[in-house]
Chain A
């Protein structure tokens, strides 16, 4: 019963996450770009744009220009989250890939960096008057969700260890449609429940900044209007 519930929950969450993201990405990709609006100075070539976007996505270059504290906490959180997610790949493959094995200790430390980053960002939301003003309930909720996932994860390691062999069997069972019982441990159930919730809210929330950043014309356009004519195809076809 519990196993079926969680299995169905994760199938639904995965479907919503992928379906929702696909819908959004399609919407972004299909919307015409009427004009060239890169923030200058901008690269004049496509490869220059790729380099600019890479710096933006990997290093948060613009945020660094804006505010060092927000950058520090934000970058720390995202980089750590990446490591933590990679560390969890060990639950999804059998045998575990070599580089995932090597990554395990780093992924664990990253968990602490992730919590510290979240804490810093949350503190900013409360302490800086301007940021407090623009913060809504959903912003707190998102932080709570992520912090909840991290805290329950740590609790399973340091407070009440969970049966990770059984957990892995459950996860692999989901992938191969051969359901295995989920360990009925409250911390684990909470951890997984929060992860499913995060997956579900992803395409309906500000987490859309993840695909969005790649579609931002201010950053992904080249400065080449004097050499290459820009046409917004749909507008042009409509004869405007």
Chain B
């Protein structure tokens, strides 16, 4: 499939030599005028794009302390230079976080600082030219906003804030990205990223109910639009059909069944994902988040539980209350919002689930911390719960669990290579190369400790790995959902129907 070289996996992780321009050619498909206009952006590059871009840039600076501070604070110490998975996988120096930031910073310096106005050559200030804009489009679509670099920065400079700002500027001058903007249009129009309308969703859920009954002999429900349910489940729409996502959804259903908690999915807000974060649009992100609040109010639920999705959980945990809150109509006795892993872990703690670990004995598992869960959110009461709780669930469901190398998990976890709005076929080379650091860590434990499968709690991670793992010699089904493991192990009560 590949017309590029798949990176090698070495015994010892290496930092590549610089290859200037190695990924200069990488760029996603441009958004069509209708995708742009549906979100209120110009259909194509506007005539006065230069002035409009600078104007928008100034606007963002005025309303964002993070960007203001991060523009000035960098001292070029180099702490971040070997931390980005896209740099490690490609060797392109502009994929070093500081160099990526500098694409925006050099324009900031030129137009917004005295030093850059008077002595541009000294401080690396540059005019915003067509060439610079082109570089923005290329390299700000080579950042998955995973924020690994920020962990190591002495000032916490967050490159995601740069790539979000750059994408927002580009959207506002008519240079949007197809993948994200087309999907956002579908959410506004239909309610989910896939554009799956309510009747099709109902069919899918019925089909899953039949599958579960056939396999287990127990009737487990996947309710849709049931007013008065206790819990609204908001999950990434990939869970409705993609592999291994759907096995995770079956897992949630079985957990709710065992807990005896009534729950429902909403056809109006049938999407946890919020791609507006990827394009840095506060307004779009608010709009998408408000759908969920509206659905929760209309269905009269008492709790909202979020399914396995990385950035969605960051948006839910960190942003929902600000964007669409207050959620004071929900039951304050439960976390608002709650992650499905927290829900399941709580039941395990209370001994309410019977789990047969041997059902997963054919696998030796490891866990891939998803970047937005790891570095953008929390689970449970104590910091770091987002690392402990998924692992505790896996260990409760499996006999064989091994962690990958310490500098590749938890807060230091590597992105799957497909996050941040880059999970599209037109960026396949970038996705394959960006997966190299994770694949390397996986290969180490596969070789040394016999790991056969990797579990994740993010729809993007799962789709990405299912696609790129074969390039590195792993089976595409070596990536599994955490709740797929729960689904395998859980012993169902209830009336056998056959």
Residues of A within 8 A of B (CB): 24, 27-28, 31-37, 39-44, 56, 60, 62-63, 65-67, 70, 74, 124, 128-131, 133-139, 141, 204-206, 208-209, 212-213, 215-219, 223, 225-226, 229-232, 234-235, 240
Contact flags B382-412 to A (C-beta < 8 A → 1, else 0)? 1110110000000000000000000000010
Chain B, interface residues (CB within 8 Å), range:
35 or more
Q: Contact between A63 and B65 (Cβ–Cβ < 8 Å)?
A: no
Question: Given the complex of chains A and B, what is the CA–CA distance between A230 and B449 in angstroms?
Answer: 45
Q: Which of B157, B326, B382 has the most CB of A within 10 A?
A: B157
Stretch touching chain A among B30-38, B66-74, B185-193, B460-468 = B66-74
**Of B151, B155, B335, which one neighbours A213 at CB under 8 angstroms?**
B155
Q: Contact between B65 and A41 (Cβ–Cβ < 8 Å)?
A: no
**Of B96, B156, B378, which one neighbours A134 at CB under 8 angstroms?**
B96
Q: Is B376 engaged at the interface, CB distance under 8 Å to the other chain?
A: yes
Question: Given the complex of chains A and B, what is the CA–CA distance between A240 and B65 in angstroms?
Answer: 17
Closest-by-CB residue of B relative to A234 is B63
User: What would 12 A/B residue contacts be, using CB atoms closer than 8 Å?
Assistant: A24-B72, A28-B68, A31-B61, A33-B65, A62-B153, A66-B152, A66-B153, A130-B15, A137-B121, A218-B147, A219-B155, A225-B318
Q: Contact between B65 and A39 (Cβ–Cβ < 8 Å)?
A: no
List residues of B (282-322) whose CB comes within 8 Å of A's CBs: 282-283, 286, 317-319, 321-322
Q: Is B336 engaged at the interface, CB distance under 8 Å to the other chain?
A: yes
**Of A24, A27, A43, A136, which one neighbours B383 at CB under 8 angstroms?**
A43
Q: Is B270 engaged at the interface, CB distance under 8 Å to the other chain?
A: no
Given A134-B102, A219-B156, 14 other A-B residues pairs in contact with their CB atoms under 8 A: A32-B63, A34-B282, A37-B161, A40-B377, A62-B151, A66-B152, A67-B79, A130-B15, A134-B81, A137-B121, A209-B75, A216-B73, A229-B322, A234-B63
Closest-by-CB residue of B relative to A139 is B76
Q: Contact between A63 and B63 (Cβ–Cβ < 8 Å)?
A: no
Q: Contact between A131 and B78 (Cβ–Cβ < 8 Å)?
A: yes
Q: Contact between A134 and B65 (Cβ–Cβ < 8 Å)?
A: no
Say how far A219's CB is from chain B's closest CB, in angstroms.
Answer: 4
Q: Is B199 engaged at the interface, CB distance under 8 Å to the other chain?
A: no
Contacts of B154 in A (CB 8 A): 56, 60, 62-63, 74, 209, 213
List residues of B (151-195) whose CB comes within 8 Å of A's CBs: 151-158, 161
Knowing A223-B383, A229-B325, A231-B322 are in contact, say whether A212-B78 is a contact too (CB < 8 A).
no
Question: Given the complex of chains A and B, what is the CA–CA distance between A232 and B64 in angstroms?
Answer: 10
Q: Is B122 engaged at the interface, CB distance under 8 Å to the other chain?
A: yes
Q: Is B419 engaged at the interface, CB distance under 8 Å to the other chain?
A: no
Contacts of A32 in B (CB 8 A): 63-65
Closest-by-CB residue of B relative to A60 is B154
Knowing A39-B156, A66-B80 are in contact, say whether A230-B321 is a contact too (CB < 8 A).
yes
Contacts of A223 in B (CB 8 A): 378, 383
**Of B69, B156, B319, which one neighbours A28 at CB under 8 angstroms?**
B69
Say how far B448's CB is from chain A's closest CB, in angstroms.
Answer: 25
Question: Given the complex of chains A and B, what is the CA–CA distance between A206 and B114 in angstroms?
Answer: 13
Q: Contact between B147 and A226 (Cβ–Cβ < 8 Å)?
A: no
Question: Given the complex of chains A and B, what is the CA–CA distance between A44 and B382 in angstroms?
Answer: 8
Q: Is B18 engaged at the interface, CB distance under 8 Å to the other chain?
A: yes
Contacts of B122 in A (CB 8 A): 136-138, 141
Question: Given the complex of chains A and B, what is the CA–CA distance between A136 and B106 in angstroms?
Answer: 11
**Of B15, B66, B68, B378, which one neighbours A37 at CB under 8 angstroms?**
B66
Q: Which of A136, A139, A226 has the most CB of B within 10 A?
A: A226
Q: Contact between A130 and B63 (Cβ–Cβ < 8 Å)?
A: no
Q: Is B451 engaged at the interface, CB distance under 8 Å to the other chain?
A: no
Contacts of A206 in B (CB 8 A): 72-76
Query: What 10 A-B pairs have minimum CB-CB distances, sorted nearest first?
Result: A218-B156, A212-B73, A66-B152, A41-B383, A66-B79, A131-B78, A31-B65, A130-B81, A219-B156, A208-B72
**Of B63, B82, B411, which one neighbours A34 at CB under 8 angstroms?**
B63
Q: Contact between A232 and B376 (Cβ–Cβ < 8 Å)?
A: no
Q: Is B99 engaged at the interface, CB distance under 8 Å to the other chain?
A: yes
Q: Is B12 engaged at the interface, CB distance under 8 Å to the other chain?
A: no
Q: Contact between A136 and B123 (Cβ–Cβ < 8 Å)?
A: yes
**Of B99, B113, B115, B155, which one neighbours A212 at CB under 8 angstroms?**
B155
Closest-by-CB residue of A relative to B61 is A31
Closest-by-CB residue of B relative to A75 is B154
Say how far A67's CB is from chain B's closest CB, in angstroms.
Answer: 6
Contacts of A70 in B (CB 8 A): 77-79
Contacts of B102 in A (CB 8 A): 134
Say how far A205's CB is from chain B's closest CB, in angstroms.
Answer: 7
Q: Contact between B151 and A229 (Cβ–Cβ < 8 Å)?
A: no
Question: Given the complex of chains A and B, what is the CA–CA distance between A229 and B114 in angstroms?
Answer: 37
Q: Contact between B77 and A36 (Cβ–Cβ < 8 Å)?
A: no
Q: Is B362 engaged at the interface, CB distance under 8 Å to the other chain?
A: no
Question: Given the complex of chains A and B, what is the CA–CA distance between A215 and B156 in angstroms?
Answer: 10
Q: Contact between B82 and A215 (Cβ–Cβ < 8 Å)?
A: no
Q: Contact between A34 and B69 (Cβ–Cβ < 8 Å)?
A: no
Contacts of B115 in A (CB 8 A): 138, 204-205
Knowing A62-B151, A130-B93 are in contact, say whether A204-B114 is a contact too (CB < 8 A).
yes
Q: Contact between A39 and B63 (Cβ–Cβ < 8 Å)?
A: no
Q: Contact between A226 and B383 (Cβ–Cβ < 8 Å)?
A: no
Say how far B322's CB is from chain A's closest CB, in angstroms.
Answer: 5
Q: Is B11 engaged at the interface, CB distance under 8 Å to the other chain?
A: no
